[in-house]
């Protein structure tokens, strides 16, 4: 469903249903990107990674985390090495920033929260990227939900990092220091009741 939704919203994108850890996928993409770079001088290559979030999320409660699932973020390095994207975008739950080691029962070790996340960020930046992140509430951008997500941007040196301006707020602002903002949209407007 997620893939079909993305395809309908972005029909010009190529969509692959593959295991991201399969190096053959990276090789196929490398051929495509090499062709694009030869055909379109100065084209900008963006890599979007919506990493699996279940085993970071607080919605998992006190249940054990799947250590293998939490390693998907490391698969990104082979894409960076082979594709040399200009930008890398990451989307995940807020708790992604708390990524750290698990104990023998598969539960996060609270005093080590964030350790693996910081190491991962440093390793990504070692490829020559600058980094920034924001926690973005989709309601602040006109969506019919108050879903907060972590977004990270990595840009090659010299490329700007920009964030979208918010257009909505919980309490409407008609004339503020940063301009007017509309009230969050209630989901009842789009529900089939």
Stretch 29-37: mean pLDDT, rounded?
94
What is the pLDDT of the chain when averaged over all its residues?
A: 89
Ranking 14-23, 87-96, 126-135 by mean pLDDT, the lowest is 14-23
Interatomic CA distance for residues 61 and 190, integer angstroms:
30
Q: Residue 5: is its pLDDT beyond 80?
A: yes
Beta strands in 19-156 (DSSP E): 46-50, 87-92, 129-137, 148-156
pTM listed for this prediction: 0.85
| pLDDT for residue 178 | 63
pLDDT value, residue 114? 94
Rounded average pLDDT over 65-74: 78
Whether 56 has a pLDDT exceeding 80, the answer reads: no
95: helix, strand or coil: helix
Cα–Cα distance measured from residue 107 to residue 120, given in angstroms and rounded to the nearest whole number = 20
Closest CA to 141 of 173, 119, 166: 166
Tokens 């970071």 belong to 56
pLDDT at residue 76, as a whole number: 92
| DSSP three-state, residue 133 | strand
């Amino acid at each position: 469903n997620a893939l079909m939704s993305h395809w309908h919203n972005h029909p010009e994108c190529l969509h692959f249903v593959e295991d991201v850890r399969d190096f053959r996928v990276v090789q196929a993409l490398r051929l495509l990107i090499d062709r694009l770079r030869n055909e379109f001088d100065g084209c900008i290559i963006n890599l979007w990674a919506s990493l699996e979030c279940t085993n970071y999320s607080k919605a998992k409660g006190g249940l054990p985390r799947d250590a293998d699932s939490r390693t998907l973020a490391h698969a990104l390095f082979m894409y960076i090495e082979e594709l040399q994207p200009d930008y890398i975008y990451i989307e995940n739950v807020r708790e992604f920033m708390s990524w750290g080691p698990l104990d023998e029962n598969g539960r996060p070790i609270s005093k080590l929260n964030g350790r693996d996340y910081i190491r991962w960020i440093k390793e990504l930046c070692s490829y020559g990227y600058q980094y920034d992140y924001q926690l973005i509430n989709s309601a602040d951008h006109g969506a019919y939900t108050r879903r907060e997500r972590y977004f990270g941007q990595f840009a090659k040196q010299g490329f700007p990092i920009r964030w979208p301006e918010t257009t909505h707020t919980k309490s409407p602002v008609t004339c503020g220091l940063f301009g007017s903002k509309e009230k969050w949209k209630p989901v009842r407007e789009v529900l089939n009741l």
